[in-house]
Structure 1
């Protein structure tokens, strides 16, 4: 990058210290050592503390939702206890999103999964492809909540950064409905590639076509 690796030495500034004040730390004369203590160590400490806090929070979430993916290795009593805990977690103002007992019964009657190490999205896709969403309503709701919880991961942040690529200067007068549609297409680009452009064009033309009265 054509950047000089040698740091310039700066003159150390001295501050007048009164008798009642505490003694100041010994100044660092080496520029590289000063950069290490004032910049590098600060960045590393901040990154480590942020990662520890995030993993601690995700660990608590994983402890409450682990029954959805680890029920195959649990006993029936453990499944009931974890499902009841998850039901209490998803309760607000006396209304719960799921029923703990029904969720336990659904997990005990789930068909054989394609793999033991299955992710939440794979589990949702499996239920959708097998058309079992109405058979396992509590499991379907719990899996969708679990899949949408980690909103602070980089995937969600990259999806939100799509806004500056869509809402450009030439599209400043774009309406909210069109902006939402373009954002969904941009975020779910893997699904949008499988769409048929001819069918989309025909549907758009049928909606915009003007009927002329003869």
Structure 2
């Protein structure tokens, strides 16, 4: 289990540190979590390599490799099935060897521990990814106005103003309509990040002309990209490193 958790937690820890080091906003969080999900999905499909590595580590540490079936399973109960388990109508029989000549205990561990663990981690990250992506898609027009159509920009501007009527007025539509021209004339032709755009508007004293844009950018930039509940789990890789 130490090898499994190490392989799972290290990429999560690395992704978290990248997001923190960049002082990342939601758009950067989306791209980093997307890459993390791809890495964990590859890990989900690499059971054989993971198992061989675990046996090698155990051998080097003179640890005997023994897997045990879970206790308390009701008679006749079916194991949770996965996409690569074959015919879903057949009951799982732990007394039979699988196609990969895997022991019954190894087969049980793969299906009931390894896949369940990875599915839960990937599922939790997917929820976070979808939430961050939804926010990013709604607010991305604030800094991607050079690459989207005027119709899409106006539609999203009105939608944002309707969502936050207490802080953002519908003047945002007019401000966004003129922002591409202001950008090209003062900031160059390259797209800026949300923080760079807000700093540029402040530096060039254009906040008064783009008041609602500035407020919208501040709303975006104050959305947290990491949470304390996730931080507490990132100390586990250090414990595993000390064990080895």
Question: Residue 130 of structure 1 corresponds to which residue in structure 2?
Answer: 204
Structure 1 residues 13-162: aligned runs within 5 Å:
23-25=76-78, 26-27=93-94, 30-91=104-165, 95-99=166-170, 100-112=172-184, 113-114=187-188, 116-149=190-223, 151=224, 153-154=225-226, 157=228
Check whether the contact 1:9–1:30 (CA below 8 A) recurs between aligned residues: no
Give the distance between the partners of 2:148 and 2:74, measured in 1 at CA.
68
**Please, which runs of 5 or more residues in structure 2 have no aligned partner?**
1-56, 79-92, 96-102, 233-244
Question: Residue 7 of structure 1 corresponds to which residue in structure 2?
Answer: 65
- Deviations 1:32-65, CA, capped at 9 Å, x for gaps: 3332222211121112222322222222212211
Does the residue aligned with 2:146 lie in a helix, a strand or coil?
A: helix
Give the distance between the partners of 1:73 and 1:32, measured in 2 at CA.
52
Give the distance between the partners of 1:5 and 1:132, measured in 2 at CA.
66
| CA 31–105 in structure 1, closer or farther in 2 if over 3 Å, else same | same
Check whether the contact 1:80–1:101 (CA below 8 A) recurs between aligned residues: yes
Give the distance between the partners of 2:74 and 2:152, measured in 1 at CA.
67
**Please, which runs of 5 or more residues in structure 1 have no aligned partner?**
18-22, 162-214
Shift of 1:157: 4.5
Does the residue aligned with 1:70 lie in a helix, a strand or coil?
A: coil
Check whether the contact 1:106–1:136 (CA below 8 A) recurs between aligned residues: no
Shift of 1:126: 1.6
Bigger share in helix? 2
Check whether the contact 1:90–1:96 (CA below 8 A) recurs between aligned residues: yes
Does the residue aligned with 1:71 lie in a helix, a strand or coil?
A: coil
Does the residue aligned with 2:136 lie in a helix, a strand or coil?
A: helix
Larger of the two Rg values belongs to structure = 1
Supply the RMSD in Å over aligned alpha carbons: 3.3
Give the distance between the partners of 2:72 and 2:150, measured in 1 at CA.
71
> Scaled by the length of structure 1, what TM-score is found?
0.55
Give the distance between the partners of 1:33 and 1:145, measured in 2 at CA.
49
Does the residue aligned with 2:190 lie in a helix, a strand or coil?
A: coil
Does the residue aligned with 1:83 lie in a helix, a strand or coil?
A: helix
Give the distance between the partners of 2:67 and 2:157, measured in 1 at CA.
63
> Scaled by the length of structure 2, what TM-score is found?
0.49
| CA 14–105 in structure 1, closer or farther in 2 if over 3 Å, else same | closer
